[in-house]
Structure 1
């Protein structure tokens, strides 16, 4: 029997569901490893994040997203797993494109948890 591993995802920011165009990106691990020499590595903490392309609909929460400095971003993936980013805020330049109303959003935060 087949198992659903990809497909429709859902994003909520402080309870407001966003309309998204496709993929959602979140880190699988809280650390990044780099080999120094064979068999020895260093480990660095990763900043928890969620990246998503949303659509600027009539009820798009622009003001909340721009002003938010401690939001909760919930990403529910098609396989049923959920990533919760706490203490989230927007980073990088956030802009909307006029031809397709796409808004690329990158949230970083204090803590990211897979549930």
Structure 2
């Protein structure tokens, strides 16, 4: 029996659903490990984040995204899992492409939780 693991995703910013192209990236862990020498490693905290490719529709919440400093981001993946990023804000340069209206968004925040 087959099981759905990828496909249509849903993405919300403070409850407002954005139209996305399907590319959603969320971290699976809140730590990063690096081997120092065989059998010994260090561990660092990762900044919680979400990356998504959205479409600039006529009602795209540009001002909300640009000015938001404590947003709640909800990414529902096709397999039914949900990642919630709280205390979120946009990072990096945000721009729209004129030929396909794609907006690449990267959010970082205070807390990221899988539900």
Q: Could you tell me the TM-score, scaled by structure 2's length?
A: 0.99
Instruction: Tell me the SS of whatever aligns to 2:8.
Output: coil
- SS at the partner of 1:65? helix
CA distance in structure 1 between the partners assigned to 2:92 and 2:23 by the alignment: 18
Show CA shifts across 1:8-51 (max 9, x none): 00000000000001210000000000000000000000000000
Equivalent position of 1:82 in the other structure: 82
Two-structure CA RMSD over aligned residues (Å): 0.4
* 1:12 maps onto 2:15 in alignment: no
Unmatched tracts of structure 2, length 5 or more: none
Q: How does 1:102-113 map to 2 (within 5 A)?
A: 102-113=102-113
Structure 1: gaps of 5 or more residues: none
1:31-82: CA deviation from partner (whole Å, max 9, x where unpaired): 0000000000000000000000000001100000000000000000000000
Q: List 4+ stretches of structure 1 deviating above 4 A.
A: none
